[in-house]
Structure 1
């Protein structure tokens, strides 16, 4: 929705580009000059023109948490960009203050001025010259504060703007809990809006007072209906012309209507207008996102002077969700495939510049996606603007996540959020669905009191019915949806499956619980028991830490390879069933969840892209499934540094390489030599590649499409099969109790899984891999290891080993041993999303052992927990002289409990 004239909207957009984006403009100085003068129209008291002006109001702010010391900031801003990533539990959830001056001028008297906030999390109070001008509750929708009556238009014209913000827990404001971080601050843009006394009413839940619908669309003609709310704040009556003009994509006028409106002093009036039919409209779709432009104007009836003007997009399309045949757009069947999205970004929290947010939608489009689930809250206006422009269908929802509060205030806040969401985004052709609850029965309260829990369920159902009725009243042209987690029987029994028009299921069989086979079975159960209810898969996904690789992938190892396998199963099952209207992978990109631990603490790793938006192998897989044009990409092309043990005494190590493609087959070359043509299975071609030490070049080709090729340059660090082989040996970096590789990019260290001791080589003697005791993990722990950014080094271990031998050649070595006590530590709430979250009680008794190196005592009576605490990273180093071919032998001597070793690093010095 365009909020003003092109010149001032351009200024708003440009002021919010990140510096790296701005450098790509050739005429940077000219753009900065335009921005300066656009903001200067208010901040320097320069006279303003008639009509609507919307300018950026994002610089020259200061911020303080406690009103003691102030720092200069530019909006968008959050105070949680850093503390959500540290090892201290929790993050600042409290109050912050923002302050800025607004300089007025005598010429501005008679104008109406408003502060427009695109998003502040989550309670806001706005003060002007010490007076409370307005409040807002809720962190994800736009709100507008009238400030005219508090401003000075005489004297020094200097006005103090102060904004009090809190992201505290508030039981009457959703969300209450969620698997994402509630960043605080004015984290979206702020604008200063000036209008004439006669204008389109902007007090309507943060919307611009114009609502455009297309009640009838076909390939032959289209009808446009416009609802406009006009306001006259003058005391005198005004006679005005309400004019609506529609232009096609070439800028040609295709429809126009003007009516005379008489407005009494202080009157608001709603006008309904049907425009002349548009013949043979160009239809909007993902393949051809044709946008028309509707310009709504209020003109003075005496001299046709423009008093206000707003521009909105129009996309002509019609659609249907069908429980048997799937989704239809413009009369044609279309499987909705795409992703959900969270709004935060690496290093920025949720205060993300426009250019980076728009890039997310471009990446979704480049993936072949045609749908965005805007989850779990309305997001920055640029997101739906980009969806309109690029042809991405969308759903939007308010943040009722996991649970509700049974209070009238909570219900009213939810209703207001729903109205704000719908009215602010009503004119986006990309939106086909409004939603309002996500996994609301995931954490049901009162589990120990069944009668009280039944009352709670009743209140949940009543809130859902309340919001469903409200949504259908607000917008009868779109569908409604709730998203449920995989407890089919619970939602059905409570009655929630009967309420929305479409059901979304968030399903993780084969990840949080169950097996991969259970996904298709669940789809068929829904179709069998709810045959009249259209179905979407609104979430599915598996964690993929891009630093973790495995050739033996298993559930919850966080390897990219397991995520590939998981996605192949889910995509095949959805695409093979017409009744599945679509699927949204969880998530487009990794996102912050402060309470999570696992291999990359505070990050949910299910994204197809990293938090910094680098593609993972899974992104390429989705391209292979979803793109319509021929596609070929080396899936692991970002795994440019590898390590592995040589095959027997050969000078190479054979490892799997996959190429993602939507073609029948592909051919792979290693250093110019063909490894053969492989048929695609589930959009992947697979080769066993014999990597040699040093540089290896991979090139993939498509026989049917000579223009398609991809290349990856791999630096391979070959480990000798036995040390007597004449391979170069400099270092070993071994993960004990693991079946996964770990890429420690910060130290340029490549960690490899351990092996049992083999004569002439290295390995452990005795013991077994650590198991955490829960049902989802075959080995290792998912606890946050304190004091390190490289948690996977310490999250696996060999327990009860008696020795570790390395038959290295004679020389001088540096040996590092890595320890962490994985048992015990603070009791934490089990992650609710894990369906197999029944934990075996840990035995946190004493563990004391000694370590000898080549017979000499190195660690005596070593008690990790007592000396360092539990789940702490501990590293011990010793230098060792090896002579007479004796190699290095570590002996682990138990005193109490079983000895452990998490990882080992050996580096040859001389």
Structure 2
């Protein structure tokens, strides 16, 4: 097999065409009747910016791609394939004007065989030796497909994962699976199974060779034999490995298996190979007990991931994915739920390499249950996910659904019908792969069907207060056989800090459950809850995380928990967020810029010495002269010393149960004006330090009445334009959270629609200010800032 990515040479048109002929009409009619095609590089999502555009709903409809491929298959009678690693949501593939394939589903991989259609050569007159390929991706709303459009994420459109041109001989491997079974502490048995791709059902004898290598690259097993081409799955070899190195988050040991096939077409010999990595480990969710990995208790410390990124939406490059997954690992996580769909093969490969255990699921998310086509898509996507990701040792749970108790998409809601179909998927999963368990989140009437269940527990956000977390989790644990807490957290705006965060301790009813209920995510109406009454500050979010994590250290029965979600992401159901159309529960922004919460997790989970003085982003703090102010430090060091303006204010020892900040907190008197705070810690003999500078404001302020706009050139040539608001006396208003809209006239360009605090033209102030990046593009521009209720201000750049 020979594979190459085909990322360049593509053109895109977002919109509908009268038919596929319009893709190519200009080639024949000398560019008459042309539509405006744009050059793009794959991966590409045609919702790269509009998913967080504050003024429009994101586009849902068809989008077209076209290219001229140079094809040079080296195999005699070889097959030429297009391998889509993912495209959304429904995909049609054409050679010139002939449709050769259609795929339903935006998240699983699929291959398209071009061989027969290319052989007919209908397009040589126009395109010579090149092959005209057109692809239509369509994310039009459709109730009879999954996921539901009421899911809390965008159903993106485009060829938003990598696309490969693949050459194989007339017989090749479609899948190679390595099943592992631990026999004893040091020994394991593996079985190598394979399924052929043989569309013409050729019958011939082939020579096979197999080599298995240990994590150090040494061959531990080799064999050769001859076999007749087969149909379906076939066991190729069963062998025993000794002195086994177990895969785990701390030691992600990976073996490899390569199978080579030798054959002949006429007088010409050919060979093709298929290589897979695998790991050897055992795991168990103990009934009414903890999670065991390789026989020992492991607390699953997790987060969640959406395929979403500033400026490109789902079209994340390999470098972007790698940066994100490394950040997750460096945060100290050992577990990740891939919500709510099968994700890129690159993600799974990195989970294997980095040591991140995985819950991966199909996108049966909300909405109820549809007809037979709907159900068949669920079956097909479950089978594809398992077949395509079977060999990843990181995967422990196949997720069958999310919030399937959420009624909306159909005029009837039949719990028994959902139960029957959930049981069918559960049985299908175990039929395809009995080495993993099944799981769902939030569907109480199905929790007895699957292996692992996560109830809805949002203590301190959608319901209740965060001190109820442990009791809520214990109730969830006792209410199901095998418990895992997925999804907890709070929306928080990067850069927003408050002196006294809203907690709801006095106003919000407690003891009535902490499960999210329909409508709780709305910002108005319903029962009192922190999500609608709170300040959406980093301050509150860090306190909540701190409480959850210090509690988890004492919950020896807990299998684990996963915070929702690692990164801010776009969603069509949240137009009223401080940055519209953004779910802001991330511990990093949509461009991977860490928020303060990232370091709270590190202080509990990371082994590498770290220290962080809370609040690096607020330039001005406020209070009364002589007032004691709290300085918080997050660190995994045994102790830390704080210095204020060069003078030590004491040493504190870390105690995880001393909330907040595990005891690393100081009350100090700040000087009016400039202050410098520095923290120093020691862990395992290594010293780490962190410092911040800010202005302490003691002047009191009234309502915001005016704004000042400034512009500063950055080292990369971009301009940072910032607005700050003041009262009628010219005193800065550091708690103002009004909405501001940036605009531009002239040669430059606002770098907006990113869904970040520096990449949004319409957003709330954080700490009385907001900013946006501008590309001057070599010319002159005037940038405006219109803050609600305040005269618009301008600056020329």
The answer to whether the superposition gives a TM-score over 0.5 is yes
1:803-849 alpha-carbon deviations (Å, 9 max, x no partner): xxxxxxxxxxxxx9987xxxxxxxxxxxxxxxxxxxxxxxxxxxxxx
CA contact (8 A) 1:78 1:184 kept: yes
1:90 paired to 2:57: yes
1:295 paired to 2:258: yes
CA contact (8 A) 1:783 1:795 kept: no
Residue 87 of structure 1 and its aligned partner are, at CA, apart by 2.2
Residues in 2 aligned to 1:548 and 1:656: alpha-carbon distance in whole angstroms: 17
CA contact (8 A) 1:599 1:782 kept: no
1:601-633 alpha-carbon deviations (Å, 9 max, x no partner): 121111111111111111111111112344322
Residues in 2 aligned to 1:643 and 1:792: alpha-carbon distance in whole angstroms: 17
1:71-95 alpha-carbon deviations (Å, 9 max, x no partner): 1111011111111222224111000
Residues in 2 aligned to 1:704 and 1:412: alpha-carbon distance in whole angstroms: 55
From 225, 228, 235, the counterpart of 1:272: 235
Pair 107,749 (structure 1): closer, same or farther in 2 beyond 3 Å: closer
Residues in 2 aligned to 1:626 and 1:473: alpha-carbon distance in whole angstroms: 36
From 138, 159, 167, the counterpart of 1:186: 159
1:669 paired to 2:643: yes
Q: Secondary structure at the match of 1:126?
A: strand
1:411-438 alpha-carbon deviations (Å, 9 max, x no partner): 1011101111111000111111100211
Q: 2:147: which partner in 1?
A: 175
Residues in 2 aligned to 1:128 and 1:472: alpha-carbon distance in whole angstroms: 38
1:659 paired to 2:633: yes
Question: Bigger CA drift: 457-466 or 281-290?
Answer: 457-466
Residues in 1 aligned to 2:237 and 2:570: alpha-carbon distance in whole angstroms: 46
CA contact (8 A) 2:366 2:404 kept: yes
1:74 paired to 2:41: yes
Q: Secondary structure at the match of 1:580?
A: coil
Q: 2:12: which partner in 1?
A: 63
Pair 128,517 (structure 1): closer, same or farther in 2 beyond 3 Å: same
The structure that has the greater radius of gyration is 1
CA contact (8 A) 2:257 2:275 kept: yes
Q: 1:281: which partner in 2?
A: 244
1:463 paired to 2:426: no
From 169, 174, 177, the counterpart of 1:196: 169
Pair 195,780 (structure 1): closer, same or farther in 2 beyond 3 Å: same
Residues in 2 aligned to 1:363 and 1:735: alpha-carbon distance in whole angstroms: 38
1:645-702 alpha-carbon deviations (Å, 9 max, x no partner): 4633x6xx76432111233431111232112123433444112344446654322112
Q: 2:110: which partner in 1?
A: 143
Residues in 1 aligned to 2:472 and 2:201: alpha-carbon distance in whole angstroms: 63
Residues in 2 aligned to 1:122 and 1:694: alpha-carbon distance in whole angstroms: 55
Residue 279 of structure 1 and its aligned partner are, at CA, apart by 0.7
TM-score of the aligned structures, taking structure 1 as reference length: 0.71
Residues in 2 aligned to 1:322 and 1:367: alpha-carbon distance in whole angstroms: 27
1:312-365 alpha-carbon deviations (Å, 9 max, x no partner): 112111111113331111111100111101111111111111011011111111
From 494, 517, 533, the counterpart of 1:546: 494
From 573, 578, 581, the counterpart of 1:595: 573
CA contact (8 A) 1:340 1:372 kept: yes
Q: 1:835: which partner in 2?
A: none
Q: For this pair of structures, how many residues does the alignment match?
A: 689
Q: 2:439: which partner in 1?
A: 481
5+ long unaligned stretches in structure 2: 18-34, 503-529, 706-718, 744-759, 769-783
Residues in 1 aligned to 2:478 and 2:484: alpha-carbon distance in whole angstroms: 15
Residue 748 of structure 1 and its aligned partner are, at CA, apart by 3.8
Q: Secondary structure at the match of 1:876?
A: coil
Q: 1:100: which partner in 2?
A: 67
CA contact (8 A) 1:171 1:405 kept: no
Residues in 1 aligned to 2:264 and 2:11: alpha-carbon distance in whole angstroms: 45
Residue 400 of structure 1 and its aligned partner are, at CA, apart by 1.3
Residue 782 of structure 1 and its aligned partner are, at CA, apart by 10
1:383 paired to 2:355: no
Q: 2:790: which partner in 1?
A: 875
1:169-223 alpha-carbon deviations (Å, 9 max, x no partner): 11121111211112211111100110001211x3xxxxxx211110235332111
Residues in 1 aligned to 2:785 and 2:338: alpha-carbon distance in whole angstroms: 46
Pair 576,107 (structure 1): closer, same or farther in 2 beyond 3 Å: closer
Q: Secondary structure at the match of 1:466?
A: helix
Residue 565 of structure 1 and its aligned partner are, at CA, apart by 1.5
Residues in 1 aligned to 2:176 and 2:75: alpha-carbon distance in whole angstroms: 25
CA contact (8 A) 2:215 2:255 kept: yes
Q: 1:250: which partner in 2?
A: 216
From 422, 425, 437, the counterpart of 2:386: 422
5+ long unaligned stretches in structure 1: 1-51, 203-208, 485-490, 723-731, 737-744, 765-778, 797-815, 820-872, 879-904
Residue 528 of structure 1 and its aligned partner are, at CA, apart by 3.0
1:114 paired to 2:81: yes
Pair 338,763 (structure 1): closer, same or farther in 2 beyond 3 Å: closer
Pair 467,780 (structure 1): closer, same or farther in 2 beyond 3 Å: farther
Q: 2:203: which partner in 1?
A: 237
Pair 694,355 (structure 1): closer, same or farther in 2 beyond 3 Å: farther
Q: Secondary structure at the match of 2:406?
A: coil
Residues in 2 aligned to 1:196 and 1:445: alpha-carbon distance in whole angstroms: 45
Pair 877,158 (structure 1): closer, same or farther in 2 beyond 3 Å: closer
Q: 1:312: which partner in 2?
A: 276
Q: Secondary structure at the match of 1:437?
A: strand
From 284, 295, 313, the counterpart of 1:331: 295
* Residue correspondence of structure 1 range 791-870 to structure 2 within 5 A: 791-793=763-765
Residue 510 of structure 1 and its aligned partner are, at CA, apart by 1.2
Pair 236,623 (structure 1): closer, same or farther in 2 beyond 3 Å: closer
Pair 473,236 (structure 1): closer, same or farther in 2 beyond 3 Å: closer
1:160 paired to 2:132: yes
1:434 paired to 2:392: no
1:472 paired to 2:430: yes
Residues in 2 aligned to 1:306 and 1:166: alpha-carbon distance in whole angstroms: 39
Pair 785,536 (structure 1): closer, same or farther in 2 beyond 3 Å: farther
TM-score of the aligned structures, taking structure 2 as reference length: 0.80
From 92, 104, 125, the counterpart of 2:92: 125
Q: 2:309: which partner in 1?
A: 345
Residue 108 of structure 1 and its aligned partner are, at CA, apart by 6.2
Q: 1:699: which partner in 2?
A: 678
Residues in 1 aligned to 2:489 and 2:440: alpha-carbon distance in whole angstroms: 19
Residues in 2 aligned to 1:457 and 1:571: alpha-carbon distance in whole angstroms: 35
Residue 109 of structure 1 and its aligned partner are, at CA, apart by 6.0
Residue 228 of structure 1 and its aligned partner are, at CA, apart by 0.7
Q: 1:558: which partner in 2?
A: 536
Q: 1:395: which partner in 2?
A: 359
1:528-583 alpha-carbon deviations (Å, 9 max, x no partner): 333xx111111100112112101110132111111012112222333322332111
CA contact (8 A) 1:645 1:720 kept: yes
CA contact (8 A) 2:211 2:219 kept: yes
CA contact (8 A) 1:665 1:678 kept: yes
Residue 391 of structure 1 and its aligned partner are, at CA, apart by 1.0
Q: Secondary structure at the match of 1:439?
A: strand
From 584, 593, 612, the counterpart of 1:614: 593
